[in-house]
Amino acid sequence: MVELKTSEQYQEKKENANHKKLIEDMECKCCPVFNTFNIIGKKFSLLILRNMLYDKQKRFNEFLNSIEEINPKTLSIRLKEMEKDGLIKRHVYNETPIRIEYYLTQKGKELQPIMEQMALFSLKYCCDQIFDNPDPIKIEKITAKSIRKYL
């Protein structure tokens, strides 16, 4: 029996094939995976993204108070790097006292499925490091919605 695909699934498969073909036809200066890791792999960067995506945090002190072991200097550096890389946008309000908020760009928002896949991997293979009860969780019981509480 042939499984019928929705037009959305068909379009996604077609886009993936186009991306694969495009990558195969290009001469890369560096590995795309390594490049992505250089953008998001610095200490605390993923935690800042996590807090922006799932906790809707946008202020410096919110990040500082919620990310364990981060100090103000490191947080400031990471926010500047993430802004330079186009993941976030800094908005300074014309108020007294000054108010600064950070917002995810479209580029930053597109990291959400990657983060969810990372969480699924950890939930599937690293239960003993995450939970008090180290029994593995069947992947079928894990959904993107259910993992949000772990992100």
The architecture CATH gives domain 32-107: Orthogonal Bundle (1.10)
Question: Is the pLDDT reported for residue 17 higher than 70?
Answer: no
> Which pLDDT value is given to residue 100?
97
Q: Chain-wide mean pLDDT for the chain?
A: 82
Tell me the residue type at 77: I
Q: What percent of the chain has pLDDT over 90?
A: 54
User: 9 CB contacts (<8 Å, ≥6 apart)?
Assistant: none
Question: Is the pLDDT reported for residue 21 higher than 80?
Answer: no
> Which pLDDT value is given to residue 9?
58
CATH 1.10.10.10 occupies which residues in the chain?
Answer: 32-107
Q: Is residue 137 helix, strand or coil? A: coil
> Which pLDDT value is given to residue 2?
45
The first and second tokens of residue 95, run together, are 């108020």
Q: Is residue 35 helix, strand or coil? A: helix
Question: Is the pLDDT reported for residue 125 higher than 80?
Answer: yes
> Which pLDDT value is given to residue 6?
55
User: 69 CB contacts (<8 Å, ≥6 apart)?
Assistant: none
- List pLDDT tens digits, range 43-82: 999 999 999 998 899 999 999 999 999 999 999 999 999 9
Q: In whole angstroms, give the CA distance from residue 62 to residue 147.
A: 22
> Which pLDDT value is given to residue 13?
63
Q: In whole angstroms, give the CA distance from residue 36 to residue 16.
A: 18
- List pLDDT tens digits, range 82-119: 999 999 999 999 999 999 999 999 999 999 999 989 98
Q: What is the CA radius of gyration of the chain?
A: 19
